[in-house]
Amino acid sequence: MEATQRLLEIMAKLRDPDKGCPWDLRQTYDTIVPYTLEEAYEVADTIQRGEMDELRDELGDLLFQIAFYSQIAREEGHFDFNDVASGICEKMIRRHPHVFADAEYQSDEQLRQAWEQQKAEERAGQKQSSPASHMDGVAHALPALIRAEKLQKRAARVGFDWPDPQGAFDKVSEEFDEVRHELENFNRQQLQDELGDLIFAMVNVVRLLGMDAEQTLTQANMKFERRFRALEQTLLQQGITDLQTQSLEQLDAVWEQVKKAEQQN
């Protein structure tokens, strides 16, 4: 608690109208958001790399973002850091009656359903400017793949879902054909729309197979980067430093060589 209080005092001093930091004083909720997203991704990156010392530092950076928002809100008379902490404490206790009360669940599925029901009741109790929807609460700022999966899961709760992965995969084939058709016509807006449908349909397949779309694409990104770096190293060993001097066929041949070597290890 002593360190937390020190952090809040530092944040307040940075925002002091007379002696604070000019940069910190200029910031608003909106201007801080990009930094918050960046810090969250850096936390995820250090976890994937297993760097615990870095993780401690990155978590500190993320905590600072929360202190920053809370300080601005305190200045405006909305809430402060303590209100934020108290709110999450109350929420976690309320959502875990099997831990903090006498509720009992017979399976993980019952536990999940109770958790979702509690969240739905909380959303229903919040002020709504329009009728409640099962789509409420899925943040627009989420990465698109994560948001697609969450939207699909919300629809699935009311039975609007494919019965199995095969049905979802058949939909991917249908969307692929529509993309092929638009490629022939090349109406840019329509093509983008169909490409979006194709990606969304593919997320459905991944979800119904019990996998995570964001993690799946992250792994693909890492594999591509690893193989491309190996391609660069292979060419460098051949004395080739400028990849642009190589034809696509030459680069592809090295790429296949890298893939084969990786699969054999």
Residues in the chain: 265
Share of the chain above pLDDT 70, in %: 97
Structure confidence at residue 113 (pLDDT) = 83
Q: Is the pTM of this model over 0.75?
A: no
Reported as type and span, the H/E element at residue 188 is: helix 188-208
Structure confidence at residue 1 (pLDDT) = 72
Note whether residue 117 is domain-resident.
Answer: no
Residue 248: count of CB within 10 angstroms of its CB: 8
Residue 37 to residue 33: CA distance in whole angstroms = 6
Note whether residue 75 is domain-resident.
Answer: yes
Note whether residue 185 is domain-resident.
Answer: yes
Structure confidence at residue 191 (pLDDT) = 94
8 and 32 belong to one structural domain: yes
Note whether residue 128 is domain-resident.
Answer: no
Res 128 pLDDT > 60: no
Residue 118 to residue 95: CA distance in whole angstroms = 6
Res 200 pLDDT > 80: yes
Structure confidence at residue 115 (pLDDT) = 81
70 and 91 belong to one structural domain: yes
> Torsion angle, CA of 20/22/28/31, rounded to 10 degrees?
-140
Total tally of structural domains belonging to the chain: 3
178 and 246 belong to one structural domain: no
Backbone angles phi, psi at 34, to 5 degrees: -60, -35
Across the chain, what does the average pLDDT equal? Answer: 92
The CATH number that applies at residue 59 is: 1.10.287.1080
Note whether residue 109 is domain-resident.
Answer: no
16 and 82 belong to one structural domain: yes
Note whether residue 241 is domain-resident.
Answer: yes
Residue with tokens 């964001």: 214
Q: At 247, is the pLDDT very low, low, confident or very high (cuts 50, 70, 90)?
A: very high
Residue finishing a domain among 44, 72, 95: 95
20 and 80 belong to one structural domain: yes
6 and 72 belong to one structural domain: yes
Residue finishing a domain among 67, 95, 123: 95
Token pair, residue 255, equals 């790429």
pLDDT in tens, 7-44: 999 999 999 999 999 999 999 999 999 899 899 989 98
184 and 226 belong to one structural domain: no
Residues of the domain holding 223: 215-264
55 and 75 belong to one structural domain: yes
Residue 101 to residue 98: CA distance in whole angstroms = 6
Residue 120: count of CB within 10 angstroms of its CB: 15
Res 54 pLDDT > 90: yes
Higher pLDDT, 167 or 186: 167
Note whether residue 120 is domain-resident.
Answer: no
Backbone angles phi, psi at 36, to 5 degrees: -65, -45
SS3 257: helix
Residue finishing a domain among 95, 118, 145: 95
